[in-house]
C-alpha cells in the first residue's frame, strides 16, 4: 500500500509497485497531461515534480513513492491562475503539436528554481527535454520570459 | 457495402448540431434534392453553414475540419472562416470536426465540404477556397437578416468584430441578435457540387454577388488573415487538458500491446503464452496474423497481442511471452547490404528513364566542363512524439474509433466492408495528433485494433511503445543518387543527368532539370524490402540535399558565387511545366523561375549574403520547390578545431502564396529546419537480419535545445498567389544550405548522410 499526494490530493495505490509513476498518473489518476514518449527517461515528455524536483515519471517505480508529493501539469495552475511558465509558453506561442510541452513546462519550472535568471548557456546545459517539432527557439524565449514574469511577481 | 437509406432530421443534427456530436456519414447532398429549402436551419441544423455556429453570447464556434499534427491548421483554417465572417477573433472558439462523408448511389465515398485529411502540405491549399466561401455565406446570412430587422439596405451595413454596424449612424449590433432570422434566410442559387481532383468533395456552391450571393473578400480585406495569431489550443496544451489520440479512451477498454515479428515479412512460428497469462491484469493473448493477405507490400507486422486491464500489465505480459519467429525471406538485409544493393541496382535492365529532353549525349560531348558526383542518404524514422495508438470498439452494428490519424476519413472508408457495418454507423473521434510526419496516414495500427476488438468483442486500445514505432515504421527510403552536369564554355549549365537509386519514388523533377536544355532523369529499383513510406517532404527531403549541393559544387567549381550561379540558371522570369506532385490545383501546376529567384534574393538580402564572415565561419544557401511552395534558406555555421559543428543562424524566405498566419508560418519554417538538423546529425536507422535494430532515443537522441541555432530569421514574399503549404517546405532547402555552409567553413564536401564524424577527420 503506497500513500502519496498528487496535486494536493491524498491518494492510495495498492497495485503492482514496479509500475512507473507515469502509468499511475495517466490510467489510475486519470491525469493525461503527463505524456508517454519513450519509457526510458530519455525524452522528458513525462516530466513531473516529485517533492518539488523535476523527474521523468516513466522510470520511477511506484514503490519508491511512499509519502511523496507529486505535482503534474494539471497541478501547476493555482486558484485558476496560470503559472508564469505557462503564461510565457502562451505568449511566445511555443507549441506546435504540443505533445511534449507539458514536460517542457514542468522541466522549466524546476530549472527556474535553480537558475532564476538563466543564461542561454545555462538553459543549453540543463534543459534536455526533446521536442520533435523543434520548438526550441521559442522554448528558449519562453524560459527567459517566464524568468522575467516571475521576477515581476507573476 | 450498405448505403444510408433514410435521411432524417435527426441525422442532420447529428452531423452539424453542437458539441458532442461526432460523426457523420450522411448524404447531405440529398437534402438539397428533397427541395426542403435553402435556408441554414434546414441545411445545417442551426449552424450558419458547415463551419460556423454563432452562440447566444455572440461568441462564435468555428469548426476546424483537419486534424492538427503541429502544423497549426486548427488555428489557421478557422482564421480563414473568421476573416470572411469579420468575426472577433478573441471571441472565437474552435471545435475539432470529425470526418464528414457519405456514400453516393454507386457506393463511392464522397467528402462533405472540404478534404479533411492532412499531408503533402495541402491542408491550407485545399481548404482555402471552400472555407472562405463558407465564412462569406455566414456573413451574408447575418447581413440579410440585419438589413431586414434594421430596415437598412445591405449596402448601408458594415461588419466588424462580430457586430453589424449601420454605416450612417455607427450603431452596432451583435451578430447573435440576428441569428434566428439568419437561419431562415433563403439564398437562391445556393447548392452543392461534386469536385473531383485528388479526392471527391461535395462542396457548397454560392451564388455570385451579382446574383445576390455573398461577396468574398479580396486580399488585404478583413482583420484576421495575415495577422500573427497564437495557437487557439495553447491554453489547453499548457495546462495538460488537450486530448491527443493517446489520451482518448473508450469505457472499459482493454489495453493491447503486440510483440510483433521484428523481421519484416517474417511471422510467428510458435509461441507460449502461459507465463504472460499469469500476470495480474492480463485478460487474453491473441495471435495477430498478416491483416492484409492480398497485399504485396508490407501491411502490419504479424505478432502476438497481450490484452490487459492496463498498459503496464499488457507490457509485463508481453515481456513474458516466449515466441519463436519465422524470420522470413529478407534476413540478408543489413545497412551494408542496402548500400551495396542501391549500387547494384543501377546497371540492371530495370533502371528506367523517367524523362528526357534534348540530346544528352551530344551535350556532354560538347560540354566544356563536366561534374559528376554521388550522394548517399540513410533510412530516417518518424519518431512521432506521440507514439502510435488506436482505440476501437466493433459492436454488433456500430463502430467507435478514437485515435490520432492524418486521414480520419480512412477509418470508415477502409473498414466498413471489412467489418460489415454500415458506413453511417462509424463514430470517429480524432484527437490532436502528436506529430505525424506521414506515419500516421497509415492504417496498420488501426487494423490491429479492429482485429483485436472483433476477436474479443470489447473495446481495445492498441498502444505502441517507442521501440514499436521505430521498428515497425514505414520509414524514409535510403538512396544513392548520381548526378552528372555539363557546362558550356560560357559557364552555362547545358546538360543535367540525374539518377536516383531508391526504393521510393525518385522526385527529381523541377529545377534545374526543367530549365536545362538537355536533361535526363532516371530511376533504379533496388530490391530492398525494408518498409518505406511518406516522411516529411517525401522525396524532396533528400533530393533537395542532392540537387542543391550539386549546384553548389558546380558554382564553386566554376569559381562563381553560389547565389549568382543559381540566379543565372533560373534566367528569365518564366513558368515551366512541372510533372511532380503539388498540393495546389492543377491550373497552378507550374514551377516559376521568378518566384524561386524571389525567395533566393529575399533570403540572401536578409542574411547579408556576400558580407565577410569571421575565420572558421561558413555560409551556405539553397532553395527548393516543394508541393507548390518555394523556400530559400541561408545557414551560418562554424566548425571548431575538434570538428564540432555549431549552427549559429538560419535565415529563410518562403513564397507560399498568401500567408494566413505569419506566426504559425514561421513556426513551420523553424520546425522544418530543426527536423532537417536532427536528420543530418542523428538519423541513421540500423538494420540486421532484415529487421530494424534501432529502438529508442538512447540510440538516436535527435536534436535538443543546446544544438538549436540561437537565431532564426524568416520572411515571406508578399504574394498574390493562392495559399499553398509550409509544413514540408523548409526542410528540403535547409539540409543543403547547411552542407554548403559546412563546405564554406571547412572545404569539406559532405555527400553522405548522416554527418557523423566526417568533420572530425
pLDDT tens readout for residues B577-608: 898 888 877 566 799 999 999 999 999 999 99
* Separation of alpha carbons B240 and B82, rounded Å: 27
**One domain, residues A97 and A45:** no
Nearest partner of B535 among B417, B400, B683, judged by Cα = B683
Domain with A119 in it: what CATH number?
1.10.150.120
Q: Are residues A54 and A103 in the same domain?
A: no
Cβ-defined contact of A16 to B280 (cutoff 8 Å): yes
Looking at residue B13, what is its pLDDT? Answer: 33
Nearest-CA distance B75 → chain A (Å): 11
Q: What are phi and psi of B705, to 5 degrees?
A: -65, -30
Q: Which of A75, A99, A123 is the last residue of a domain?
A: A75
**Strand pairing class (B518-524; B493-502):** parallel
Q: Of A75, A97, A132, at which residue does a domain stop? A: A75
**CA pseudo-torsion sign B634, B638, B639, B645:** negative
Domain check: are A95 and A128 in the same one? yes
Q: Of chain B residues 541-570, which have a CB less than 8 A from chain A?
A: none
A131 is in which domain, residue-wise? 84-151
Note whether A96 and A126 are same-domain residues: yes
Measured between beta carbons, the chain A residues lying within 8 angstroms of B235 are 82, 90
Query: Inter-chain contact A93–B231, Cβ cutoff 8 Å?
Result: yes
Q: Is residue A69 located within the same domain as residue A17?
A: yes
B239 and A45 within 8 Å at the Cβ level: the answer is no
Residue of B nearest to A141 (CA): B710
The torsion region of residue B633 among left (phi > 0), alpha (psi -120 to 50) and beta comes to beta
Chain B's closest residue to A42, CA to CA, is B697
CA gap B581, B584 in Å, rounded: 9
Residues A69 and A114 in one domain: no
Q: Is B400 in contact with B446 (CB distance < 8 Å)?
A: no
Considering only CB atoms, which chain B residues are within 8 Å of A23? 310-312
Burial of B246 (0-12, 13-18, 19+ CB in 10 A): buried
Question: Which residues share a beta bridge with B373?
Answer: B483
Residue B5 burial (C-beta neighbours within 10 Å; 0-12, 13-18, 19+): exposed
- Minimum distance, in Å, between the CA of residue A16 and any CA atom of chain B: 9
Report how far apart, in Å, the C-alpha atoms of B464 and of each of B224, B245, B434 are.
40, 12, 14
pLDDT value of residue B9: 34
Of A130, A40, A43, A37, the C-alpha closest to B707 is A130
Answer positive or negative: Cα dihedral of B185, B190, B191, B194: negative
- CB B342 within 8 Å of CB B333: no
Inter-chain touch A95–B68, beta carbons under 8 Å: no
Rounded Cα–Cα distance for residues B128 and B146 (Å): 27
CB contact under 8 A, B316 and A90: no
Contact (Cβ atoms closer than 8 angstroms) between residue B696 and residue B467: yes
Which of A38, A98, A134 is the closest to B237 by Cβ?
A98
What's the rounded Cα separation, in Å, for the pair A107 and A126? 9
pLDDT score of A66 more than 90: yes
Task: Provide the b/e sequence for B37-60 (b: ≥16 CB within 10 Å).
Answer: ebbbbbbbbbbbbbbbbbeeebbb
Q: ipTM of this complex > 0.90?
A: yes
Give residues 421 to 440 of B whose Cβ lies within 8 Å of A.
432-435
What is the nearest CA distance from A67 to chain B, expressed in angstroms?
22
- B245 Cβ under 8 Å from any chain A Cβ: no
Query: Are residues B238 and A39, on separate chains, in Cβ contact within 8 Å?
Result: no
CATH number for the domain that contains residue A33: 3.10.20.30
* Residue B493, C-alpha cell as written in the block: 549549365
A31, A95, A137 ranked by CB distance to B234: nearest: A95
Question: CA B501 to CA B351: how far, in whole Å?
Answer: 9
CB contact under 8 A, A96 and B667: yes
Count of CB pairs separated by less than 8 Å, A with B: 183
Task: Name which of B407, B390, B404 is nearest B118 in CA terms.
Answer: B407
Instruction: Answer yes or no: do A12 and A69 share one domain.
Output: yes
Collect the ranges in chain B with pLDDT lower than 70: 1-37, 586-588
Pair A24, A51 in one domain:
yes
Q: What is the total residue count of chain A?
A: 154
Residues A122 and A142 in one domain: yes
Q: What is the pLDDT of residues B290-322, one digit of tens each?
A: 999 788 888 999 999 999 999 999 999 999 999
Partner-chain contact B674 A16, CB within 8 Å: no
Cell digits of residue B713? 530569421
Q: Do residues A93 and A37 share a domain?
A: no
Residue after which a domain boundary falls, among A48, A75, A102: A75
- Residue A71 sits in the same domain as residue A12: yes
Q: Which of A97, A100, A105 to mutate to test the interface with B (most CBs of B within 10 A)?
A: A97
Count of domains forming chain A: 2
A124 vs B contacts (CB less than 8 Å):
705-706
pTM over 0.80: yes
Q: Hey, which residues 455-484 in chain B have their CB within 8 Å of chain A?
A: 465-466
My answer on whether A6 and A71 are in the same domain is yes
Cross-strand partners of B487: B369, B493
Whether B150 contacts chain A with CB within 8 A? no
On whether the CB atoms of residues B388 and B471 are closer than 8 A, the answer is no
Hey, are the CB atoms on A40 and B231 less than 8 Å from each other? Answer: no
Size of chain B in residues: 761
Q: How far is A143 from chain B (nearest CA, A)?
A: 12
Instruction: Give B63-79 pLDDT, tens digit per residue.
Output: 999 999 999 999 999 99
- Quick check: B697 and A101 CB within 8 A? no
Strand partners, A119: none
Amino acid at each position: 500500500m503506497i500513500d502519496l499526494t498528487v496535486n494536493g490530493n491524498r491518494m492510495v495505490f495498492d497495485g503492482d509497485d514496479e509500475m512507473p509513476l507515469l502509468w499511475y498518473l495517466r490510467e489510475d489518476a486519470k491525469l493525461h497531461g503527463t505524456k508517454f514518449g519513450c519509457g526510458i527517461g530519455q525524452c522528458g515528455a513525462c516530466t513531473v515534480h516529485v517533492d518539488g524536483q523535476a523527474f521523468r515519471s516513466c522510470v520511477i517505480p511506484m514503490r519508491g513513492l511512499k509519502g511523496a508529493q507529486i505535482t503534474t501539469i494539471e497541478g501547476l495552475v493555482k486558484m485558476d491562475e496560470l503559472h508564469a511558465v505557462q503564461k510565457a509558453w502562451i505568449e511566445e506561442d511555443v507549441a506546435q503539436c504540443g505533445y511534449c510541452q507539458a514536460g517542457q513546462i514542468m522541466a522549466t519550472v524546476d530549472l527556474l528554481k535553480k537558475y532564476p535568471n538563466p543564461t542561454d548557456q545555462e538553459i543549453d546545459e540543463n534543459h534536455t527535454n526533446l521536442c520533435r517539432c523543434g520548438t526550441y527557439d521559442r522554448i528558449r524565449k519562453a524560459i527567459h520570459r517566464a524568468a522575467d514574469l516571475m521576477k515581476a511577481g507573476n | 457495402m450498405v448505403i444510408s437509406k433514410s435521411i432524417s432530421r435527426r441525422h442532420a443534427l447529428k452531423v452539424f448540431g453542437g458539441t458532442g456530436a461526432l460523426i457523420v456519414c450522411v448524404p447531405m447532398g440529398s437534402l438539397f434534392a428533397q427541395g426542403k429549402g435553402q435556408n441554414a436551419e434546414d441545411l445545417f441544423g442551426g449552424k450558419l453553414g458547415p463551419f460556423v455556429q454563432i452562440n447566444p453570447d455572440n461568441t462564435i464556434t468555428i469548426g476546424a475540419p483537419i486534424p492538427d499534427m503541429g502544423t497549426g491548421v486548427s488555428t489557421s483554417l478557422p482564421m480563414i472562416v473568421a476573416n470572411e465572417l469579420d468575426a472577433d477573433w478573441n471571441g472565437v472558439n474552435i471545435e475539432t470536426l470529425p470526418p464528414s462523408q457519405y456514400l453516393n448511389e454507386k457506393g463511392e465515398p464522397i467528402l462533405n465540404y472540404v478534404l479533411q485529411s492532412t499531408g503533402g502540405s495541402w491542408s491550407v491549399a485545399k481548404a482555402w477556397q471552400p472555407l472562405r466561401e463558407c465564412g462569406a455565406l455566414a456573413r451574408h446570412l447575418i447581413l440579410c437578416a440585419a438589413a431586414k430587422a434594421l430596415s437598412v439596405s445591405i449596402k448601408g451595413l458594415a461588419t466588424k468584430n462580430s457586430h453589424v454596424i449601420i454605416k450612417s449612424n455607427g450603431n452596432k449590433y451583435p451578430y447573435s441578435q440576428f441569428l434566428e432570422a439568419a437561419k431562415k434566410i433563403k439564398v437562391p442559387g445556393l447548392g452543392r457540387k461534386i469536385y473531383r481532383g485528388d479526392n471527391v468533395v461535395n462542396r457548397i456552391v454560392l451564388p455570385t454577388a451579382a446574383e445576390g450571393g455573398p461577396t468574398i473578400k479580396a486580399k488585404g480585406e478583413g482583420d484576421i488573415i495575415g495577422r500573427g495569431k497564437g495557437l487557439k489550443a495553447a491554453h489547453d496544451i499548457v495546462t495538460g487538458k488537450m486530448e491527443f489520440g493517446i489520451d482518448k479512451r473508450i469505457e472499459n477498454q482493454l489495453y493491447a500491446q503486440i510483440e510483433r515479428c521484428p523481421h519484416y515479412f517474417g511471422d510467428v512460428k510458435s509461441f507460449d503464452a502461459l507465463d504472460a497469462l499469469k500476470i495480474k491484469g492480463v485478460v487474453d493473448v491473441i495471435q495477430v496474423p498478416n491483416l492484409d493477405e492480398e497485399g504485396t507490400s508490407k501491411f502490419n507486422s504479424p505478432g502476438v497481442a497481450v490484452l490487459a486491464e492496463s498498459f503496464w500489465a499488457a507490457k509485463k505480459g508481453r515481456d513474458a511471452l516466449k515466441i519463436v519467429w519465422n524470420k522470413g525471406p529478407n534476413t540478408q538485409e543489413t545497412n551494408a547490404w542496402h548500400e551495396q544493393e542501391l549500387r547494384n541496382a543501377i546497371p540492371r535492365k530495370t533502371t528506367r528513364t523517367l524523362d528526357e529532353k534534348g540530346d544528352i549525349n551530344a551535350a556532354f560531348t560538347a560540354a566544356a566542363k563536366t561534374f559528376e558526383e554521388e550522394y548517399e542518404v540513410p533510412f530516417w524514422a518518424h519518431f512521432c512524439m506521440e507514439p502510435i495508438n488506436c482505440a476501437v470498439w466493433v459492436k454488433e452494428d456500430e463502430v467507435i474509433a478514437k485515435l490520432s490519424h492524418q486521414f480520419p476519413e480512412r477509418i470508415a472508408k477502409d473498414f466498413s466492408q471489412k467489418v460489415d457495418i454500415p458506413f453511417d454507423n462509424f463514430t470517429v473521434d480524432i484527437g490532436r495528433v502528436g506529430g505525424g510526419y506521414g506515419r500516421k496516414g497509415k492504417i496498420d495500427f488501426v487494423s490491429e485494433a479492429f482485429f483485436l476488438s472483433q476477436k474479443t468483442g470489447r473495446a481495445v486500445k492498441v498502444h505502441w511503445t517507442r521501440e514499436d514505432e521505430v521498428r515497425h515504421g514505414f520509414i524514409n527510403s535510403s538512396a544513392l543518387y548520381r548526378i552528372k552536369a555539363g557546362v558550356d564554355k560560357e559557364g552555362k549549365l547545358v546538360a543535367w543527368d540525374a539518377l536516383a537509386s531508391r526504393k521510393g519514388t525518385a522526385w527529381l523533377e523541377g529545377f534545374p532539370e526543367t530549365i536545362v536544355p538537355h536533361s535526363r532523369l532516371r530511376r533504379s529499383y533496388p530490391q530492398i524490402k525494408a518498409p518505406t513510406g511518406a516522411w516529411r517532404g517525401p522525396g524532396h527531403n533528400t533530393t533537395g540535399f542532392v540537387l542543391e549541393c550539386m549546384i553548389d559544387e558546380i558554382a564553386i567549381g566554376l569559381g562563381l558565387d553560389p547565389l549568382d550561379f543559381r540566379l543565372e540558371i533560373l534566367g528569365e522570369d518564366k513558368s515551366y511545366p512541372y510533372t511532380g506532385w503539388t498540393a495546389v490545383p492543377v491550373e497552378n501546376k507550374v514551377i516559376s523561375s521568378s518566384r524561386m529567384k524571389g525567395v533566393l534574393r529575399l533570403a540572401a538580402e536578409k542574411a547579408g549574403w556576400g558580407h565577410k564572415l569571421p575565420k572558421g565561419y561558413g555560409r551556405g544557401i539553397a532553395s527548393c520547390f516543394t508541393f507548390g511552395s518555394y523556400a530559400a534558406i541561408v545557414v551560418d555555421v562554424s566548425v571548431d578545431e575538434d570538428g564540432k559543428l555549431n549552427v549559429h543562424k538560419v535565415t529563410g524566405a518562403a513564397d507560399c502564396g498568401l500567408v494566413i498566419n505569419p506566426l504559425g508560418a514561421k513556426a513551420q519554417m523553424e520546425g522544418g529546419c530543426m527536423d532537417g538538423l536532427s536528420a543530418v546529425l542523428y538519423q541513421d536507422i540500423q538494420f540486421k537480419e532484415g529487421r530494424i535494430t534501432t529502438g529508442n532515443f538512447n540510440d538516436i537522441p535527435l536534436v535538443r535545445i543546446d544544438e538549436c541555432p540561437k537565431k532564426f530569421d524568416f520572411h515571406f514574399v508578399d504574394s498574390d498567389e493562392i495559399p499553398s503549404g509550409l509544413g514540408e517546405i523548409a526542410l528540403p532547402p535547409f539540409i543543403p544550405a547547411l552542407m554548403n555552409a559546412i563546405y564554406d567553413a571547412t572545404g569539406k564536401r559532405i555527400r553522405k548522410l548522416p554527418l557523423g564524424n566526417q568533420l572530425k577527420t
